[in-house]
Amino acid sequence: MIFENLIKENKTAFIAKVKEVAMYLGVKPEHLMFLMWFETAHTLDHRITNRIGATGLIQFMPATAKGLGTTTDALRQMSNVEQMEYVKKHLSFARGRYKDFVDLYCGIFWPAAVGKPDTYRITSDKVAMQNPLFDINRDRDIEKKEIRTALLKQIPREYKYLFE
């Protein structure tokens, strides 16, 4: 499994849970693992919290955590395996409809973009300002193709073949 060297606790159980959740969602486990690696600032630290208060493997926002029946504080206290249940719950809305890793990422980042073409545009100055990596052309809109381009650049060379 990609990035397994970064898993600090429950390695065997966590990898098994990632594979289980990926199978349930209809996605490749390597894609799910990559996106969690990306969201945790390349660490897979399930307790990590960013500057705007998002926490965990897919950087749950406080409102998202509340909608899932928990809190970011509670998520931070969970094991990586326990937190995967909330990853599964959050991404279940589009189960079987994720076309590729970018669609799966949109399930985390901007759920309305799941299933939309690469020309789909997120027109929010706030989102663009908080996510400059994705606003490649700096027009304060983020097109799905910009997300694709940015994510592809993040994939380490030795794993590129998993995303072709």
pLDDT tens across 40-87, in order?
999 999 999 998 899 999 999 999 999 999 999 999 999 999 999 999
What kind of fold does domain 4-163 have according to CATH? Lysozyme (1.10.530)
E strands of 110-154, at which residues? 121-122, 142-143
d(C-alpha 128, C-alpha 140), whole Å: 5
d(C-alpha 111, C-alpha 132), whole Å: 19
Does the pTM of the predicted model rise above 0.75? Answer: yes
d(C-alpha 109, C-alpha 103), whole Å: 10
